[in-house]
Amino acid sequence: MTVTTDCPKQYPATGISVLIVGAGVAGLMAALECRRNGHDVRVIERSPEQVITGDSFTIGPSAIHALDHWPQMVIENEKIANNPTISFHDLTGARATVPKHINYRQGQNSKNAPEQVHRHWRPQFHNMLLKQLSAIGINVEYGHRAVEYFEDDPAGRGGIVLENGDRMDADVIVVADGVGSHSTSVTMGREIQARPSGEALYRTAFPVEIAMADPVVRERFPIVEGNEGPIELWTGEKIRFIIARTADTMSWALSHNDYASATESWSHSADPDEVLKITATIPNWPEVADRLIRLTPRDRLLHFRVMWRDPQPSWVSPAGRIVQIGDAAHTYVPSSGNGATQGIEDAVSLATCLRMAGRTGEVPWALRVHNRLRFVRVSCLQKLGLINRKTYTRAPSKGNFTPKGIENLMAEWIWNHNPEEYAEENYNKVLDHLQLGTPFQDTNIPRGHIYRDWTIDEILCQQERGEEVELDGEWE
């Protein structure tokens, strides 16, 4: 990439300095969008170097459209994205449904729905963002672990203390360091308690040629070409096994209930033999699946413990100089299918709100407006993810079957949203709402939905009683 051909026009400089803590998808997108919106940007990351592990995620249209301001990323995104088909199987590997593409659904008055679902390998998407950031002259500073957050209200600055005792400050500290962030002690005044979901995931992605070296694996999971990306979802009452592949990458994930050795970390490696001990207990589990598991490079296999956190309404520190985005603000269970998308939406919304504020003295209100614009939407999607989780534990039906959980994620209110336009149109309305108490109605949520606070325990108790969780409004 070169600076002269692929960098968008910037808005006039605001003079607002932004220090971003965390170089994941949300943090890197925040850096790009903050620079485009006229802010001064610096990015630090606790890892000693760029992280190249990780498997796949879906990036929704609301996030894909954010790339439109970055011409080279639009081109590269189409190269690295794949358009998956999904088929459903039982735990013997026997197919229950034919492979088919999942399409976004249109509401009665919607614009044209997107033509395809964009599925990405995390390292490729992450590298695309890094290259674009470098092209505009911003390089990630690695090996900087933030252990404490603070703010100086009279000086109008937020800051961090690094592990080595050094201090860094800026007009805005953007916390994008993922789950379990230390910043909640500032934004919420306490650490947010996470509770085990009872589930953990073994997950991996590695070069497809490693898998194709085994003729039995190659026959069952043949090589694919172009941007096709078949996904097989094997489901049972307590086990889910997902196999996905493209022309260059093989990926699998196994969800299970025995999570004692797992941690809530994307860097906790595991041994394939651990997985084989679980599959040995599954009746009629096929040998070809075990062969695929044995081929997995040990340094590419992660064991992630899925934790739950209640919706966190406040992402902003009392003096308004520190703000959380992405997983630091709102964690999602994997069945939500929205973690990366909402992290990107956060980045766009925050950068826009800071531009609308226009100067350092208005930064606290910009962060509070952003928080209010985003919270109800992400809370609705967190709730939907918990509800969807149940739909993936049922045995697959025969024929033309798509779990209701996947259908819910294709709804228009989710994909047909533009976080930049939404922030521009509603910034002053929310500012009046916060300062003067004037009414404000969210329109980036299901039409007709009246939001109320909820907890994970509330949802789980309803499900354990066999009750359907009521969703008022038009969620589908």
3-class SS at 456? helix
Residue indicated by tokens 């509070």: 368
Which pair of tokens denotes residue 255?
Answer: 């969800």
Q: Say if CB 208 and CB 246 are below 8 A apart.
A: yes
Q: Say if CB 334 and CB 58 are below 8 A apart.
A: no
- Spatial separation of the C-alpha atoms in residues 93 and 418, rounded to whole Å: 40
Which pair of tokens denotes residue 335?
Answer: 């069945």
> 238-261 b/e with 16+ CB inside 10 Å = b?
ebbbbbbbbeebbbbbbbbeebee
- For residue 441, CA distances in Å to 212, 414, 417 come to 53, 17, 16
Which pair of tokens denotes residue 189?
Answer: 């005044």
Q: What is the dihedral of CA 125, 126, 128, 132, to 10 degrees?
A: 140
Find the DSSP H helices in 69-200. 71-80, 122-135, 184-187
Angle at Cα 103 formed by Cα 101 and Cα 107, nearest 5°? 165
- Spatial separation of the C-alpha atoms in residues 296 and 280, rounded to whole Å: 17
- Spatial separation of the C-alpha atoms in residues 172 and 354, rounded to whole Å: 9
- Spatial separation of the C-alpha atoms in residues 269 and 257, rounded to whole Å: 18
Q: How many CB atoms are closer than 10 A to CB 230?
A: 17
Instruction: Please name the amino acid found at residue 372.
Output: R
- For residue 300, CA distances in Å to 240, 244, 436 come to 19, 15, 53
The DSSP element (H or E) to which 27 belongs, if any, is helix 25-36
Which of 180, 158, 153, 141 has its CA nearest to residue 43?
141
User: Could you list the active site residues?
Assistant: 203
CA atoms within 13 A on the CB side of 164: 5
